[in-house]
A = this chain, B = another copy of it.
């Protein structure tokens, strides 16, 4: 059972994300869904960090409750389920990219796949375009 009533220690935006992502596992699921092409329970379960079945199920449900991911049945197999991001979930991309960039810069042991960094540069370019476009409007 998932508790809907969260403590809500404050109305700070930093604290707000901690209420959802302030644990050791949730962000890894987001990573797998965002960067590793994983979509199913079994795929998430097979990650390097060895999450256990009950924790994974609880986190998936929580992310669904928070409307960060959605669950649907696979088109070909009705007993298989696929998870995907909502738009709210997709909006986590800039955060994930900045986290990746920070780790790549400050931890030599971190193994950052090249596609991470190229994706990051692409996103920053897109950001630049968005801002330029916005400036044109003014």
- Mostly, the A contact residues are helix
Residues of A at the B interface (CB closer than 8 Å) are 8-18, 22-24, 27-28, 31, 47-50, 88, 91-92, 94-96, 98-107, 109-112, 116, 124-125, 127-128, 131-132
In the docked arrangement, what's the CA distance between A95 and B104, Å?
Answer: 13
Contact of A109 among B11, B14, B98, B104 (CB under 8 A): B11
Give, as a whole number of angstroms, the nearest-CB distance from A113 to chain B: 9
26 A-B contact pairs sorted by A residue (CB < 8 Å): A11-B109, A11-B110, A12-B31, A12-B49, A13-B102, A13-B103, A13-B107, A13-B110, A13-B111, A13-B116, A14-B100, A15-B28, A15-B49, A16-B103, A16-B110, A17-B102, A91-B105, A91-B106, A94-B102, A98-B98, A124-B127, A124-B131, A127-B127, A127-B128, A128-B131, A128-B132
Residue pair B91, A13 in contact (C-beta under 8 Å): no
This protein's copies in its complex: 2
Residue pair A111, B17 in contact (C-beta under 8 Å): no
Residue pair A10, B94 in contact (C-beta under 8 Å): no
Contact of A10 among B10, B23, B49, B102 (CB under 8 A): B49
In the docked arrangement, what's the CA distance between A50 and B15, Å?
Answer: 12
In the complex, what residues of B have CB within 8 A of residue A96's CB? Answer: 14
Residue pair A91, B102 in contact (C-beta under 8 Å): yes
